[in-house]
Chain A
Amino acid sequence: MPKANVTFEKLGVTISVPAGTRLIEISEKVGASITYGCREGECGTCIMKIVSGMEHMSERSVLEDKVLQENMAGRSDRLACQAQVLGGDIVVKA
């Protein structure tokens, strides 16, 4: 099964995960300081900054894109509850 390596920069830990894992599944378990709201991509609470490896993330859905825009998020931001890791090395600011 393809793997992806997700590094939580502030925690100093890298998790090797199966491709397709959503960021929230890892961030919650690893204890990253992210707050979560609806967990369904609607509230924008779990915005997370991707430091590098955005090309290894799933595309933004129309819903995620809309919520990110409403929250004045930048190009490097994603919703942890929506974004999936697809492979390669990804570094998140958390």
Chain B
Amino acid sequence: MKPLPDAVEIAPGTHWIGALDPGLREFDIILKTANGTTYNSYCVRGANGVAVIDTVKASHADEFFRRLEQVARYDEISTIVLNHLEPDHSGALPELMRRAPQAKLYLSTKAQLMLKALVKIDELDFNIVQTGDSVDLGGRTLRFFSTPFLHWPDTQCTLVEEQSLLFSGDVFGCHFCDARLFNDQVGDFRFSFEYYYQHIMRPFREHVLEALELLEPLPLKLIAPAHGPILRDAPQSYVQRYRQLASPLLHNEVGADNKSLLVFYISSYGNTALMAQAVAEGAETVTGVRVSLYDLQAMGDLPFVDLVEEADGIAFGSPTINGDAVKPVWELLSSLAVIKVRDKLGAAFGSYGWSGEAINMIEDRLRGLKLRVPIKGVRARLIPTDEELGKCRDLGVQLAQHLTGTIQNRVISMSELLAQEPSHA
């Protein structure tokens, strides 16, 4: 077996002291990896002190301490920076604090409660930092950048100013284990970089864009993330790639003064399809709304999640079969966790044979995803009547009016509300 590598100098006086986990195949249940991951932590030596940036998963603490001891004594450590407190980066923290009790902790505002939950010490002493704050190690200045929600509330990045070196936490990271460490030496990891973005960062796209505003202007020579290869060859190209990944592929033809409503449906006998058509027709009568109609039978081959990410409103038409909405509807609804859907407009409709539960179930799911569902869905028994299709058109009109902000605020009493069917005003 090859001996484990020692601490690796990544810039003068700055070392990688992380841990390798080549056997890992599944991370946090939701992520697969074909070749493990790394828990990257780093040690920065200044004239007046030594800083440790993040730690590793508890199971790999021995490896981390062995490498740390190769480059610093515990009594030299003046600073511990916590860019992200998830246990795979904070697992060795309690032991590090025990071994270097004089070290001061630096973390973001939102990391405080997590720190207290992870390190069970009553009198915890720490320093809260935000964008603009810095720590001087003597010839090495650590400058902090608040980059929350990438991908936890607590996340931040730390720059070594003199070295244009960014400790980016999970940003620009990926699950890829290769002891050669540097992006110009490891195997082809590009798919891992993209995959990691899609699963970890994409739900927080607007926060990615905010962070890029802070990070893009930096003249970065080296990006040292908390997982995967250290990016020393063309580091800016990874920043640019994040910008591309966080931007729509094509210009959205629905202009800024228009709202986009997507009507998804699936239909076994064409009845729910008729209703979908009527919803779309109704919505199209309202100026300022662009309606798109999609048959979910094409689900699986088409990137509907991408469409939903760009839309302002989504309506789902499903028949009720065996007391439930049908599988393609649930497949799309269960795929939306990777994008931000909060506060989009949602609605449901559909044809049924004898019970029609699908509509309420879809509406509950939409509410669970934090969409707003202001209008009760339309149900029709088997073939929709002209009156029921009229209700579908009305649903479309009202959805469009909600999107354009032209709907009249309704006022009703509690007793009227209680007299109505559950969960709808």
Do the beta carbons of A13 and B409 come within 8 Å of each other? yes
> Given the interface contacts A29-B422, A31-B367, A72-B113, does A12 sit within 8 Å of B402 by beta carbon?
yes
Contact partners of B369 in chain A: CB under 8 A: 33
| Pairs of residues from A and B, 8 with the lowest C-beta to C-beta distance, nearest first | A11-B374, A31-B423, A33-B367, A17-B414, A10-B372, A14-B411, A30-B425, A16-B413
Contact partners of B409 in chain A: CB under 8 A: 7, 12-14
Contact partners of A12 in chain B: CB under 8 A: 374, 402, 407-410
Query: Interface residues, chain A, CB within 8 Å of chain B?
Result: 5, 7, 10-18, 21, 26, 28-35, 70, 72
Do the beta carbons of A35 and B368 come within 8 Å of each other? yes
Do the beta carbons of A10 and B374 come within 8 Å of each other? yes
> Given the interface contacts A16-B412, A31-B367, A33-B372, does A72 sit within 8 Å of B418 by beta carbon?
no
Interface core residue of B366, B369, B410 (most chain A CB under 10 Å)? B410
Do the beta carbons of A16 and B372 come within 8 Å of each other? no
A17 to B418, CA, bound (A): 11
A62 to B177, CA, bound (A): 49
Q: How far is the CB of B412 from chain A (nearest CB, A)?
A: 6
Q: Confirm or deny: B373 has a beta carbon within 8 angstroms of a beta carbon on chain A.
A: yes
Do the beta carbons of A31 and B363 come within 8 Å of each other? yes
Do the beta carbons of A31 and B424 come within 8 Å of each other? yes
Q: How far is the CB of B373 from chain A (nearest CB, A)?
A: 6
Contact partners of B371 in chain A: CB under 8 A: 33
A37 to B69, CA, bound (A): 47
Contact partners of A16 in chain B: CB under 8 A: 411-414
Other 8 A-B pairs with CB < 8 A, given A10-B343, A18-B414, A31-B376: A16-B413, A16-B414, A17-B413, A26-B414, A30-B423, A31-B424, A32-B367, A32-B372
Do the beta carbons of A29 and B372 come within 8 Å of each other? no
Contact partners of A18 in chain B: CB under 8 A: 414
Q: Confirm or deny: B32 has a beta carbon within 8 angstroms of a beta carbon on chain A.
A: no
Q: Confirm or deny: B340 has a beta carbon within 8 angstroms of a beta carbon on chain A.
A: no
Q: How far is the CB of B50 from chain A (nearest CB, A)?
A: 32
- The residue of chain A having its C-beta at the shortest distance from the C-beta of B366 within the complex is A33
> Given the interface contacts A10-B343, A29-B418, A31-B425, does A15 sit within 8 Å of B412 by beta carbon?
yes
A29 to B367, CA, bound (A): 13
> Given the interface contacts A10-B372, A10-B374, A31-B425, does A15 sit within 8 Å of B407 by beta carbon?
no
Interface residues on B, range: 20 to 34
Do the beta carbons of B425 and A11 come within 8 Å of each other? yes
How many A-B residue pairs lie within 8 Å, measured between CB atoms? 75
Q: Confirm or deny: B143 has a beta carbon within 8 angstroms of a beta carbon on chain A.
A: no
Q: Confirm or deny: B417 has a beta carbon within 8 angstroms of a beta carbon on chain A.
A: yes
Do the beta carbons of A29 and B423 come within 8 Å of each other? yes
Contact partners of B110 in chain A: CB under 8 A: 72
Give the residues from 361 to 418 in chain B that come closer than 8 angstroms, CB to CB, to chain A: 363, 366-374, 376, 402, 407-414, 417-418
Q: How far is the CB of A26 from chain B (nearest CB, A)?
A: 7
Q: How far is the CB of B365 from chain A (nearest CB, A)?
A: 11
Do the beta carbons of A28 and B374 come within 8 Å of each other? no
Q: How far is the CB of A71 from chain B (nearest CB, A)?
A: 9
Contact partners of A14 in chain B: CB under 8 A: 409-412
Do the beta carbons of B373 and A33 come within 8 Å of each other? yes
Within 8 Å by CB of A11, from B372, B411, B420, lies B372
> Given the interface contacts A10-B372, A10-B374, A11-B372, does A28 sit within 8 Å of B410 by beta carbon?
no
Contact partners of A29 in chain B: CB under 8 A: 417-418, 420, 422-423, 425
A62 to B363, CA, bound (A): 35
Contact partners of A70 in chain B: CB under 8 A: 113
Contact partners of B414 in chain A: CB under 8 A: 15-18, 21, 26
A35 to B368, CA, bound (A): 6
Query: Can you report 28 residue pairs joining A to B where beta carbons are below 8 Å apart?
Result: A5-B411, A10-B372, A11-B425, A12-B409, A13-B411, A14-B411, A15-B411, A15-B412, A15-B414, A16-B412, A16-B414, A17-B413, A18-B414, A21-B414, A26-B414, A28-B423, A29-B418, A29-B425, A31-B367, A31-B376, A31-B423, A32-B372, A33-B370, A33-B373, A35-B368, A70-B113, A72-B110, A72-B113
Do the beta carbons of B374 and A15 come within 8 Å of each other? no
> Given the interface contacts A31-B373, A33-B370, does A13 sit within 8 Å of B425 by beta carbon?
yes
Do the beta carbons of A26 and B374 come within 8 Å of each other? no
A21 to B376, CA, bound (A): 24
Contact partners of B407 in chain A: CB under 8 A: 12
Give the residues from 276 to 312 in chain B that come closer than 8 angstroms, CB to CB, to chain A: none
A16 to B413, CA, bound (A): 4
Contact partners of B418 in chain A: CB under 8 A: 29
- The residue of chain A having its C-beta at the shortest distance from the C-beta of B342 within the complex is A33
- The residue of chain B having its C-beta at the shortest distance from the C-beta of A10 within the complex is B372
